[in-house]
Structure 1
Amino acid sequence: MFSLSQDNIPTSPTSNKGPVKYGELIVLGCNGSLPNGDKGRRKSRFALCRRNKANGVKPSTVHSSCTPQAAKAISNKEQHSISYTLSRAQTVVVEYTHDCNTDMFQIGRSTETPIDFVVTDMLPGGQDQVDGQAVQSTISRFACRIICQRNPPYSARIYAAGFDSSKNIFLGEKAAKWRMQDGQMDGLTTNGVLVMHPHHGFNQDSKPGLWREISVCGNVFTLRETRSSQQRGRMVDCESNKLMDGSLIDLCGTTLLWRTAEGLSHTPTVKHLEALRQELNAGRPQCPVGFNTLAFPSLSRKDVLDEKQPWAYMSCGHVHGYHSWGGRRNPEVEAECQERECPMCRSRGPYVPLWLGCEAGFYVDAEPPTHAFVPCGHVCSEKTAAYWSQIPLPHGTHTFHAICPFCIQLLSGESGCVRLIFQSPLD
């Protein structure tokens, strides 16, 4: 995953080499690849490129009752349609027709062929179980769809729900749905599709925006009281479903970062992160107690503890080599989460190994890795750590919490990150 494959090389959408790239979706919690490896349509990042033949669709005819034409639209596997069940006696069917100017990409938990990017629930540390129990997924089988303009400026818009193998979307009686002033129907999916657009783009000046919910027709709403409430939020007319560089998409179980092709062209490459790692190691940081030289392992060994691995006290940021003394045993706390007392400043807190953040798409700048997220110990640039530390991500059905983008562990401490203090060699 850390070789410079075509997927890793940022390209401008106007590049003459290869297909036009609209952008990429990157799964939060994946530090360069899925925990069990990238396989087929299930991977840590997915590039949306212009298709050989347009497959976009747009709404056309509305059938307000169960007419033969409506029944035909639903049963016709060559006809896209959305069915809104208002009651047992009434279903509104909206036919969708081919749009030669757009490409459609679908995201969801289903492995059926209409899904271009298969996503699964992400848990901190790449777990797929909690207390030995398999996690019940809250991600919709056909969660959302992204429609990209095939011509400049290649804008991408997101819509809740995706078409199934029969090219249908069904919103049952219990789903939130309503008729709009122009006669068109709209609705929300069970657990919703939430989107957050950052202010000032995705760079070192970025600030988090407000979380909104996107409807089946792409309208923007304030959040519901709880994730699956049947009462929709207030419509926000002044905002749109158009994705921008750095937009976050939450599917209630996994969160995706949207990076435009233009944005990726200004993002550090894996090669650059490797150069920063080598530069950091070339400074020969030392353990201030054992005086042994520390070194960050290569990106290809990002999850393997090394004997030269830097460790740090998360309360103060002092970097050491591994040692087993200074802990206060607590049988209710796992060994790696034990609190330790820093021998340099006597502050107490988690003592953890440091890991470089390897997913370049999460970086807002190309500066050296100087800060670590608390308490997981993933290391990145100061501005990157500060940005992610202030983003409240959906957690559960109605709470929000800042996380580390590399492992999605909940952040703690006053700022969610700490500046690392390295000891230079004495010679």
Structure 2
Amino acid sequence: MFQIGRSSEAPIDFVVMDTIPGDKHGEMKVTQSTISRFACRIIAHRTTRVTQVYAAGFDSSRNIFLGEKATKWQNNGEIDGLTTNGVLIMHPPNQFCGGEATPGIWREVSVGGGVYALRESRSAPQRGIQIEDETHILKDGTLIDLCGATLLWRSAEGLGKSPTKRHLEQMVDELNAGRPQCPVGLNTLVIPRKATLTATEKQPVVYLNCGHVQGLHEWGHEKDSNSHTCPMCLKVGPVVKLCMGIEPAFYVDSGYPTFCFNPCGHMASEKTVRYWAAVPIPHGTNGFHAACPFCASPLEGDPGFVRLIFQDNCD
């Protein structure tokens, strides 16, 4: 059994902090977390390898920990319940990795492993209708939302079909081997594997309204704004630095990184960006929004991503 929550007490195996969109340097702090101290527990059976998720967890006294405002009820003589802000799960209806991934329907899981429709709001006192034909057994690609952080469950078999970190790095090397050029500065661009704070003339940027990839330059830049005019097609809009999305577990196939998310600029394969742009991540008390899996930035515009247009193989 593995217990997950924001508590740092000994029974918690994985301490989970609130996810802050775009924050990769720990500069922003959450003053009041919405993640439960004992949010959920995962039980993996050694022989059958079946893995199940349950709401809440056992404290140091080996009792189930539920807040005072948590919803509780009796089920066949035993107490069942929901955490204050709920533990939500979403199973992909199709195979996650293989190019056929599609989002599922969000449900709520109880302390006893029952699956219920979502409440009217995240912490509403009345539980949803029980969904008898759905299960709390995790499958490859299941999302677990803890109201402040969303976890992705990947199976060993699923990861075996996913691209490796080395494979992703090789694709970046192949893109750089094409010597993409900036059409304004005529300098060769180098796609980084990791996001960097320092700006160099080799750092590629993408115009988010058209997808043209160029270098950093001042042509068409309106002062005191993030509006830039693309010199290739004259569309006006924001630009952002490109960076490879290097976490293999988020990929639903092994395609080339020909698209990027808007507005963060993380590159990934077409099927990967299309999948995550269609996944509604729980947000607030009863809202949802799509987000980049690499940095959790909420996606902007429709469809929330852009196809990259390089000027490469110029030799």
Letter in 1 for 2:55: A
Q: Say yes or no: does 1:191 pair with 2:85.
A: yes
2:252 corresponds, among 339, 364, 369, to 364
Match of 2:167 in 1: 272
Between the aligned partners of 1:254 and 1:172, the Cα distance in structure 2 is 19
Between the aligned partners of 1:134 and 1:387, the Cα distance in structure 2 is 29
**Per-residue deviation at 1:214?**
0.6
- Relative to the length of structure 1, the TM-score reads 0.71
What SS does the aligned partner of 2:22 have? helix
Q: Say yes or no: does 1:316 pair with 2:195.
A: no
1:406 corresponds, among 294, 298, 301, to 294
Q: How does 1:220-369 map to 2 (within 5 A)?
A: 220-297=115-192, 299=193, 301-305=194-198, 306-330=200-224, 338-369=226-257
Q: 1:212 to 1:134 in 2, by over 3 A?
A: closer
Q: Say yes or no: does 1:119 pair with 2:16.
A: yes
Given that residues 201 and 244 in structure 1 are in contact (C-alpha distance below 8 angstroms), is that contact kept between their aligned partners in structure 2? no
Q: How does 1:10-409 map to 2 (within 5 A)?
A: 104-126=1-23, 134-152=30-48, 154-171=49-66, 173-180=68-75, 182-203=76-97, 204-297=99-192, 299=193, 301-305=194-198, 306-330=200-224, 338-409=226-297
**Higher mean C-alpha displacement, 108-117 vs 387-396:** 108-117
Between the aligned partners of 1:309 and 1:175, the Cα distance in structure 2 is 50
Gaps of 5+ in 1: 1-103
Q: Which has the larger radius of gyration?
A: 1
**Per-residue deviation at 1:303?**
3.0
Given that residues 54 and 111 in structure 2 are in contact (C-alpha distance below 8 angstroms), is that contact kept between their aligned partners in structure 1? yes
What SS does the aligned partner of 2:238 have? strand
Deviation track 1:360-413 (CA, whole Å, cap 9, x = no partner) reads 100011111100001110001111011000001001111000000001111012
Deviation track 1:70-129 (CA, whole Å, cap 9, x = no partner) reads xxxxxxxxxxxxxxxxxxxxxxxxxxxxxxxxxx11001111111111110011112656
Given that residues 146 and 158 in structure 1 are in contact (C-alpha distance below 8 angstroms), is that contact kept between their aligned partners in structure 2? yes
Bigger share in strand: 1
Letter in 1 for 2:278: Q
> What is the Cα-based RMSD across aligned positions, in Å?
1.6
Given that residues 197 and 244 in structure 1 are in contact (C-alpha distance below 8 angstroms), is that contact kept between their aligned partners in structure 2? yes
| Percent of residue pairs identical | 58
Between the aligned partners of 2:68 and 2:214, the Cα distance in structure 1 is 59
Between the aligned partners of 2:196 and 2:277, the Cα distance in structure 1 is 22
**Per-residue deviation at 1:135?**
3.2
What SS does the aligned partner of 2:169 have? helix
What SS does the aligned partner of 1:290 have? coil
Given that residues 246 and 259 in structure 1 are in contact (C-alpha distance below 8 angstroms), is that contact kept between their aligned partners in structure 2? yes
Between the aligned partners of 1:145 and 1:232, the Cα distance in structure 2 is 20
- Relative to the length of structure 2, the TM-score reads 0.95
Between the aligned partners of 1:269 and 1:404, the Cα distance in structure 2 is 19
Given that residues 339 and 350 in structure 1 are in contact (C-alpha distance below 8 angstroms), is that contact kept between their aligned partners in structure 2? yes
Letter in 2 for 1:116: D
**Per-residue deviation at 1:173?**
4.9
Given that residues 129 and 135 in structure 1 are in contact (C-alpha distance below 8 angstroms), is that contact kept between their aligned partners in structure 2? no
Between the aligned partners of 1:288 and 1:245, the Cα distance in structure 2 is 43
Between the aligned partners of 1:366 and 1:415, the Cα distance in structure 2 is 21
What SS does the aligned partner of 1:106 have? strand
Given that residues 219 and 231 in structure 2 are in contact (C-alpha distance below 8 angstroms), is that contact kept between their aligned partners in structure 1? no
Letter in 1 for 2:128: G
Given that residues 242 and 266 in structure 2 are in contact (C-alpha distance below 8 angstroms), is that contact kept between their aligned partners in structure 1? yes
**Per-residue deviation at 1:233?**
0.7
**Per-residue deviation at 1:172?**
5.1
Gaps of 5+ in 2: none
Residue-pair matches, total:
312
